[in-house]
Amino acid sequence: MRELRNQGFEVTYIAESQSGLTDPDILALARQHGLCVVTEDRDFGELVFRRQLQTVGIILLRLPVPNSTHWPRIIRLLAQYGRKLSGSFTVINAERIRIRPLPGKS
C-alpha cells in the first residue's frame, strides 16, 4: 500500500485502521467514501455478482505470490484506466487485465 500512497493515491488499508471488518462492511465503508476496493479475496465477486451488494468498484489481484514487482503494473493500471475502474469489477492476473461492468452499471 505504501507504493500507492507514494504515488498520491488515497489508500485506506483496513488491516491498519479497522481490522476485523466483514467483507460486506468493507464494501459499505468504501461505498460511503467513494473508494474502490483493492483485494486478493475472491469472495468480493460473490458479494457483488450473486448477492448484488453495491460498491464503487473492485480491483481483484490474482497474482502469484504478491510482491513489490507487481506494484508498478497496478499503478500503471490505475493511471491508465482511472475513473473507468469506478463502476467495474477489475481482475488483474499475470497475463491480462479484465474490466467488467458491475451489475446495473453497463
pLDDT in tens, 21-59: 999 999 999 999 998 999 989 999 999 999 999 999 999
Q: What is the mean pLDDT of residues 68-90?
A: 86
Give me the amino acid identity at 91: V
Helices then strands, counting H and E runs in the chain, come out as 5, 4
Dihedrals φ, ψ of 21, to 5°? -65, 145
Q: What mean pLDDT is reported for the chain?
A: 87
CA 89 to chain centre: 8
Cα(38)–Cα(16) distance, integer angstroms: 14
* The three grid cell numbers given for residue 16, joined into one nine-digit string: 491498519
